[in-house]
Structure 1
Amino acid sequence: MANSYTQSRIRKISRRFGLTPLSFDSVASLYRKNAVVRIQTNSGTYAVKPFFRSLSLRSGTIDQMKTTAGYIQLLMNSGFRYMPEWLTSNSGKLWTLDQGRPFYVTTWIKGRELENQEDFKKLGRALASLHITSSLFRPMKSPFYEHIELWKSHDRLFRRQMTKAYQTDLRTRTWYKKFGESCNRFSDRSWTELKKTEIIDLLKREMIHPSLIHNDITSYNVIISDDGQLFIIDWDRMKAGSIYVDISNALMNTTQFNPDLIYSLLQGYEELHPLDRTERKLIASLYRLPREAWHATRFSNRPRSRNERNMLDIMEHTWFLRLKAMDLLDEWTNQ
C-alpha cells in the first residue's frame, strides 16, 4: 500500500466520517510503512487506520473487522476510557469499506511513551479495566483464541530446527548453540507447570467465560497524552482470549525487564483485579516461554526482515536481565 493513499482517497474516506481533511501524512509502525494516516481538520487531528486481518484466524478481513467493531462498541457502551474515541461513519458503523479494505477512524492521541513507574501503574489499571469491563458481557462472537496451543506448535518447530542447525545461517546456528538448550529448559518447566490441575482448571473456566484482550500491548501501542491520560491504540488484534496471556505479553513487551516497572504494572493491575497464587503462577509460566526465539527462528531458512534478524541479537544482549525478571516473577508468585 506504499502509493495507495492519494489525496482523493483520504478525502473520500474521511468524509464518510463527517471530516474534511486540510492536510494528511502517513505514519509508519514497526512493521508497516503506511500503518496509519494522520489527518488535520478544523475540528482536530484524527487517525485513519486501514484494518489488517490476523493471519492466525481463519475468518476473512471483513468478518474480523465486523467482530472487532462489535467489541469496540461494547467497550464504548460500558464506559471504557483507555482507548481513543472511534468515530461513526455515515452508514452508522464504526468502519467503512474502500477498495476492498476496511478503514476506521479515531481521534489522534498526541503524547509520549511510557517512562516511569506511575506510567506502568496506569497501564496495569488500564489492562485490568479492560479485562473486568469485558468480563461483564459475553464477547463470544468468535472462538476463544488459544494462544497456548499455538505456542506449543512453535516450540515443537523450534526444537526441530535446532536438530537441523547446520542448515541455518551462521548467526542463527551460533545462537542455537549458545542459548537453544536454555530456551528448551525454560519451555519444559513452563509446560510442566501448565499441566498442573489448578492451572488446567483455571484455563478451562476462562474458556467458558473469557474476557476481551488487546493482544498486542507493546511500548508503541501505549501513549501517555499531554494531560497525563493513558491510551492504548491499535486494536486490530483484539480477541476473546486469556487475560493471563495479555498480562504476560504486556510485561514482556513494555517493561524492558526492569524490576521496578514490572512490579509497578502488576501493582496497578491488582489494584483493580487482585490475582491469587495460581493466577500469578500462570502469568510467570507464560512469561518464561521464549516466544521471541521461536518467532525469530521460525523461518530460519528464508530471508528475514531486519526486525527478525535483530531479535536474536536483542535476546542475547538482554539474556541476564531476562533471567532476573523470571526470578522476580517467581518471587512475586510466592509472596
Structure 2
Amino acid sequence: MANSYPKTRIRRVVHRFGLVPLSSNTVASFYRKNAVIRVQTKSEAYAVKPFFRSLSLHSSTVDQMKTTANYIQLLMDNGFSCMPKWLTCTSGKLWTLHKGRPYYVTPWIKGRKLENQEDYEKLGQALASLHITSSHFLSKKAPFYDHIELWKSHDRLFRRQMMKAYQTDIKIRRWYKKFGKSCNRFSDRSWAELKRPEIVNLLRKERIRPVLIHNDITSYNVIISDDGQLFIIDWDRIKVGSMYIDIAAALTNTTQFNPVFIYSFLKGYEELHPLNQTERKWIASLYRLPREAWHATRFPNRPRSRNERNMLEIMEQTWLLRLKAMDFLEEWTHH
C-alpha cells in the first residue's frame, strides 16, 4: 500500500506541535499498514498518530478525538506515567485537525516487547495504576461503555453462523465442527455466572464508581523502554468501562496463555489493587469467553481478511494452552 501521508502533510501537522522534521516513515500495526508516522527531528524521534473513529460508537471522529484527548489530559494531570506524554499544539489542544483527520503527537518510545515475568508484573502494575488513578476523578455520571451487551450480541451472531457453517468455506466449516460447541459451552458458563447475585452486585457497584480502561492492551501496544520503564501506547480506544474486562482482555492479548506470565501480571496488579474472590471469579469468567472466534466470524458474507483467518488458526494452534490457562485462573479464584 502506498504511503497515505505525503511529506508535505506530515510537515504541516508536526509544525503545529513546534517540531521541524528531518525525515519520516510510516510504521504498520497489527491492523493497519500505515498506523503511525515516525518523525525524526534534530533532537529526537516522535510518533505522529492519525486518529480513526471507533465504529462501535455513533459519535463523529472529531467528537471521539475530543473525548479521548480530555481523558488523556486528566491522566497526565493526575500523574499517570505509563504512557508517552502527548504534546500540545499551537492551539493549546493535544491534537490537531488536518484535511478532516485528527492527529496527535508523542515521543517515539524506543525499546522492546514483553519478554519475562518482571515485564508482565510491570504491566499488571500499570493497568492497576490506570484504574486507581482514573477512579479518583471520574464521576458516577460518566458514560459507561457496556462491553457485556456488545459481547452477547457477538455470541448470538457466532451461534447463528454455526448453524450456517455448511454454507461457508471448507476451512471455516472444519473449524466450527471442531471447536464451535466448546466455544458455546464456555460462553454459556460465563453468562450463567453473570447472573449470580454477587456478580450482579459487583457490576452495579462498578457503574457507581467507574474507571478508565485502555480497551486495546495487546503485545503490540506495550513497550519496555531502553531504561526499563513500561509504556502502554495507542490510547485511541480509551473509554469509561469495566476494569474487569480490561484485565481479562489484557490477559488474553498479552500473556500467550502462559500461566507463569498470567500469574506475574495478576501479582503486579494486586500489589496496587487487591482483588476479592468475587472479582477474581468474574475475571476468570470473562477470560473464558471466545472473543477471537466471535470477531473472526462476525461478517460471514465479507471476504475473510488475513487477520481474521489468522485468529482462527491461532485459536486452533493454542487451544490446549488456552484450556490450561483457564484451569490456572479457576484455581486462582480460590486462593
TM range (shorter): over 0.9
In structure 1, the partner of 2:79 is 79
Measure how far apart 1:143 and its partner are: 2.0
Post-superposition offset of 1:301: 3.0
CA distance, structure 1, for counterparts of residue 252 and residue 58 of structure 2: 27
Aligned alpha-carbon RMSD (Å): 1.1
Deviates more, 1:116-125 or 1:139-148: 139-148
Tell me what 2:31 maps to.
31
Q: Which AA in structure 2 matches 1:227?
A: D
Shift of 1:313: 1.1
Shift of 1:183: 0.5
- CA-to-aligned-CA distance 1:180-236 (integer Å, 9 cap, x gap): 111100000000101101111111111122100000000000000000000000000
Q: Secondary structure at the match of 1:283?
A: helix
User: How far is the alpha carbon of 1:142 from its aligned partner?
Assistant: 5.9
Structural mapping, 1:248-267, within 5 Å: 248-267=248-267
Whether 1:213 and 2:213 are equivalent positions in the alignment is yes
- 1:185-200 to 2 correspondence within 5 Å? 185-200=185-200
Partner of 1:97: 97
**In the alignment, does 2:223 pair up with 1:223?**
yes
Report the Cα distance in structure 2 between the residues aligned to 1:152 and 1:138, rounded to whole angstroms: 27
State the alpha-carbon separation in 1 of the partners of residues 140 and 271 from structure 2: 27
**Structure-1 residue corresponding to 2:153:** 153
Question: Is 1:245 matched with 2:245?
Answer: yes
Change (3 A) 1:245 1:38: same
Is the Cα–Cα contact under 8 Å of residues 24 and 38 in structure 1 kept in the other structure?
yes
Aligned-pair distance for 1:140? 7.0
CA distance in 1, matches of 2:237, 2:162: 30
CA offsets 1:139-174 (integer angstroms, 9 cap, x no match): 678621111110000111111111111111100111
Q: How far apart are 1:35 and its partner, in Å?
A: 0.5
What is the aligned partner in structure 2 of residue 319 from structure 1?
A: 319
2: CA distance, partners of 1:45 / 1:291: 36
Which residue matches 1:113?
113
- Rounded to whole Å, the distance in 2 between the matches of 1:251 and 1:234 is 17
Indicate the SS of the match to 1:42.
coil
Tell me if 1:64 matches 2:64.
Answer: yes
Structure 1 regions of 5+ residues with no counterpart?
none
Q: C-alpha offsets along residues 241-289 of structure 1, whole Å, 9 cap, x if unaligned?
A: 0000000011000000001000000000000000000100110000000
**Helix, strand or coil for the counterpart of 2:333?**
helix
Instruction: Kindly indicate whether the alpha-carbon contact (under 8 Å) linking 1:22 and 1:40 is maintained by their aligned counterparts in 2.
Output: yes
> TM (normalized to structure 1)?
0.98
CA deviation profile, 1:2-42 (whole Å, cap 9, x unmatched): 44311111111001000000111111111111101001112
Q: Aligned equivalents of 2:29 and 2:52: distance in 1?
A: 13
Correspondence 1:301 to 2:310: no
What secondary structure, in the 3-state scheme, does the structure 2 residue paired with 1:187 have?
helix
Superposed, which structure 2 residues align to 1:275-286 within 5 Å? 275-286=275-286
Separation (CA, whole Å) in 1 of partners of 2:89 and 2:139: 23
How many angstroms apart in 1 are the aligned matches of 2:100 and 2:141? 23
Query: In structure 2, what is the equivalent of residue 164 of structure 1?
Result: 164
**Contact 2:257-2:321 at 8 Å conserved across structures:** yes
Q: In 2, distance between residues paired with 1:265 and 1:199?
A: 23
How many residues are treated as equivalent by the alignment? 335
- The whole-number CA distance in structure 1 between the counterparts of 2:202 and 2:66 is 30
Gaps spanning 5+ residues in structure 2: where? none
